[in-house]
Amino acid sequence: MSVPFPFTAVVGQDDLRLALLLNAVSPAVGGVLVRGEKGTAKSTAVRALSALLPEVDVVAGCRFSCAPGAPDPACPDGPHETGPGAARPARMVELPVGASEDRLVGALDIERALAEGVKAFEPGLLAEAHRGILYVDEVNLLHDHLVDLLLDAAAMGASYVEREGVSVRHASKFLLVGTMNPEEGELRPQLLDRFGLTVEVAASREPEQRVEVVRRRLAYDDDPAGFAARWAGEEAAVRARIVAARALLPSVRLGDGALRQIAATCAAFEVDGMRADIVMARTATALAAWAGRTDVLAEDVRQAALLALPHRRRRNPFDAPGLDEDKLDETLEEFSGDDDRNGDRDTDRDSDRDDDPGPDDPGPGGGGGGGGQPAPDAGPQGGDTGARPEAGESGEPLASGSSDQSAVRASEPFRTKVLSVPGIGEGAAGRRSRARTEHGRTTGARRPRGALTKLHLAATVRAAAPYQRARGRSGPGLVVRRDDLRQATREGREGNLVLFVVDASGSMAARQRMSAVKGAVLSLLLDAYQRRDKVGLVTFRGAAADVALPPTSSVDAAAVRLESLPTGGRTPLAAGLLKAHDVLRVERLRDPARRALVVVVTDGRATGGPEPVALAGRAARLFAAEGVASVVVDCESGPVRLGLAGRLAGELGGTAVTLDALRADSIAGLVKEVQGSSRRAA
């Protein structure tokens, strides 16, 4: 869009705007991760920020945006002489989800290198974003290795490219902003920690505020230039305030008392490592500069904690982000007098809070429950054995249609064995099954389809060698043409669709057993999260099967549905398998490259309706006929076991594993590994 929506016209979203502005004041804060549902102005606010950033002076003709007053001595386009430069607006560079590594960091121009014998480096998006904003929409869908690259560049302020005989280092300092919808999947905790701040956004539930959002958006769509002109004054004021805060930032004093409060807060919330302390210190300093002060107050530390800690205190992907604000206030209060005890200059924080609830300026401020500055114009924004009567918790048979059991809590999750899809796929990059990918070990070569990204040098030489005499080459050297170029093929890992088909019938309803079953499925969900899979959940009980969760990347949504899963009734195993088969059929139309792994969690019994066992067998054979990978988690317990789950696995063409053997550190698995090692040694 040629005229961005004005930043100051965004309705509400105080925390979002404050976090963006703090990074504009001090890029060392480390960027912002914006989490929220669709349609909450995440992208609008980020794009609007770029118009507020001051212009930057650059060396004319430099592709790496060197500052003319202090050019980078290692700039690939240098060396540059110091002197006057050309002013241009700060850039906002967008990194698409499907971008390649070459597009991000840059690469050697292979064709020029072979044709002209020169090492020509083509800069990537990290060079283009230097001294501007790098915006990654749907950052949770970006491949992990690309996230690692851009976060490393953000942390070091430089990009290092070592590939295809090219060694390049260039400055890359930018404001990193990522947006994501948690319903589409989470970032790994290690990557969450690399974002300085995080903000949770949601649409307002206040009718008046929603009306104002619609009113302003319609006015903007009708006349973007006119709408922007009406907000030009507010935009200019915020732009000037950013410049003033940047100038004041070096003078801001972070006292020992504030530092102790920061350290105590990070310790109280048990965040890992020291990055949180550093980010909080930088954020509190930026807050003081934004408020026009040269001293960091307790309210700055509090607001910094609300922005810098929620995503760092998560211990697993099923923990909800957020902070206990009462605990935060108690910690800050406990360490509020450290400056007095150490003889430091005392700041009258109590009188500040009583007489001046916020700085006497109308700039955009932070919400988040405390300490933030108010925002100006906070506007929008088989057989008879399978038909046995089912036992309830007390061991008595359950009648057909018996009442539901209350939901049972899952037992503690554990590390599971790796379940994978056989063969080699070509699906989305992940960590489960073998696949042909852009990254991994080189396994062969092929003609390039489109742009050449990974040259297979030996295959290229072999393709060109037979034609050297015909091309007039008689001495040393090699004449290489475009048709000779070969793309390296690589093998890595892909993410799969893991579809859980969970038996919630009365035969599974003993509370201790159902708790273990839910714990096992929760463990498999955690494994799916770590391996970048999509997951789905089908349950069956009573007379029918239900899709409790359609295939999604949001593993925590599956965990929530699993936790509240009721049990009881008969076991319509065939209905559950047929429902899962239908889910896979639809998903193949949406994403043909993503292979499925069906995990059936059951004791193998089938009851209800005529010939329930025969119907379940026929349904299972549909999966076998289509070659769908499947695993049956055998939940049968007790001294007498019928082996029905193993029989079901045979019908599916898959394997069966018991709950105990599912553990990665189980004794059964250890014995199997030792036996395998002994055979190999013999």
Cα separation, 311 vs 276, in Å, equals 10
- Residues of the chain with pLDDT > 70, as a percent, come to 82
Cα separation, 408 vs 566, in Å, equals 8
Among 2-6, 406-410, 539-543, 584-588, the range of highest mean pLDDT = 584-588
Both 506 and 621 in a single domain? Answer: yes
275 noted as active-site residue: yes
Instruction: For residue 449, give its domain range.
Output: 434-494
Q: Which residues contact 651 (CB under 8 A, 6 or more apart)?
A: 616, 617, 620, 621, 624
pLDDT score, position 451 = 75
pTM for the full predicted model: 0.66
Residue-wise pLDDT tens digits, 449-507:
877 777 887 888 888 888 888 888 777 777 888 888 888 888 888 899 999 999 988 77
Instruction: Read off the pLDDT band of 511 (50, 70, 90).
Output: low
Cα separation, 180 vs 33, in Å, equals 8
CATH code (residue 118): 3.40.50.300
pLDDT top residue among 681 and 454: 454
DSSP 522-566: HHHHHHHHHTT-EEEEEEEETTEEEEEEEEES-HHHHHHHHHT--
Q: Which whole number is the average pLDDT over 400-429?
A: 76
Greatest CA separation for the chain: 91
Query: Does position 372 have pLDDT exceeding 90, yes or no?
Result: no
Q: Which residues contact 623 (CB under 8 A, 6 or more apart)?
A: 577, 581, 598, 630, 652, 653, 654
* Measured distance between the N- and C-terminal CA atoms of the chain, rounded to whole angstroms: 69
Both 624 and 666 in a single domain? Answer: yes
At 400, give phi and psi (nearest 5°). -60, 135
Both 455 and 416 in a single domain? Answer: no
Any domain includes 148: yes
Any domain includes 374: no
Residue 113, SS3 per DSSP: helix
Residue 299, SS3 per DSSP: helix
Nearest of 156, 124, 199 to residue 453 by alpha carbon:
124
Query: Does position 282 have pLDDT exceeding 90, yes or no?
Result: yes
Nearest of 667, 669, 664, 600 to residue 414 by alpha carbon:
664
Query: Are β-strands 534-541 and 544-552 bridged in parallel, bridged antiparallel, or unpaired?
Result: antiparallel
pLDDT score, position 115 = 58
Nearest of 523, 514, 555, 512 to residue 537 by alpha carbon:
555
Number of domains, the chain: 3
Secondary structure of 9-58 as H, E, C letters: HCCCCHHHHHHHHHHHHCHHHCCEEEEECCCCCHHHHHHHHHCCCCCEEE
Q: Which residues contact 648 (CB under 8 A, 6 or more apart)?
A: 573, 600, 602, 604, 616, 617, 620, 632, 656
Contact 368, 307 (CB under 8 A): yes
Q: Which residues contact 232 (CB under 8 A, 6 or more apart)?
A: none
Both 16 and 104 in a single domain? Answer: yes
Any domain includes 49: yes
Domain boundary among 494, 519, 545: 494
Domain boundary among 206, 241, 257: 206
Any domain includes 312: no
Instruction: Read off the pLDDT band of 405 (50, 70, 90).
Output: low
Any domain includes 108: yes
CATH code (residue 521): 3.40.50.410
Both 48 and 67 in a single domain? Answer: yes
Any domain includes 302: no
Any domain includes 252: no
Nearest of 17, 247, 261, 155 to residue 281 by alpha carbon:
261
Cα separation, 375 vs 423, in Å, equals 56
Both 508 and 635 in a single domain? Answer: yes
Q: Which whole number is the average pLDDT over 53-64?
A: 87
Residue type, 490: R
DSSP 447-497: --SSS--SB-HHHHHHHHGGGTTTTT--SSS----GGG--EEEEEEEE--E
Q: Which two tokens stand for residue 511?
A: 């509370």
Q: Which residues contact 177 (CB under 8 A, 6 or more apart)?
A: 20, 23, 31, 32, 34, 46, 49, 133, 134, 135, 136
Q: Which whole number is the average pLDDT over 548-565?
A: 84
Both 476 and 566 in a single domain? Answer: no
pLDDT score, position 61 = 85
Domain boundary among 467, 494, 521: 494
Both 176 and 129 in a single domain? Answer: yes
Nearest of 431, 253, 256, 455 to residue 339 by alpha carbon:
256
pLDDT score, position 597 = 95
Any domain includes 261: no
122-126, 160-164, 308-312, 447-451: lowest mean pLDDT where? 160-164
Residue 311 CB burial class (10 angstroms; 0-12, 13-18, ≥19): buried
pLDDT score, position 587 = 92
> What torsion, rounded to 10 degrees, do the Cα atoms 214, 216, 221, 222 define?
110
7-11, 217-221, 471-475: lowest mean pLDDT where? 471-475
Query: Does position 424 have pLDDT exceeding 70, yes or no?
Result: yes
Both 60 and 171 in a single domain? Answer: yes
Angle between helices 325-334 and 298-308 (to 10 degrees): 140
Both 485 and 548 in a single domain? Answer: no
Residue type, 40: T
Instruction: Read off the pLDDT band of 365 (50, 70, 90).
Output: very low
Q: Catalytic residue among 275, 511, 618, 641, which?
A: 275
- Estimate to the nearest angstrom the gap between the alpha carbon of 203 and the chain centroid: 21
Q: How many CB atoms lie within 10 A of CB 448?
A: 17
Residue 253, SS3 per DSSP: strand
Query: Does position 279 have pLDDT exceeding 60, yes or no?
Result: yes
Both 553 and 669 in a single domain? Answer: yes
246-255, 273-282, 472-481: lowest mean pLDDT where? 472-481
CA dihedral sign of residues 674, 675, 680, 682: positive
Both 480 and 584 in a single domain? Answer: no
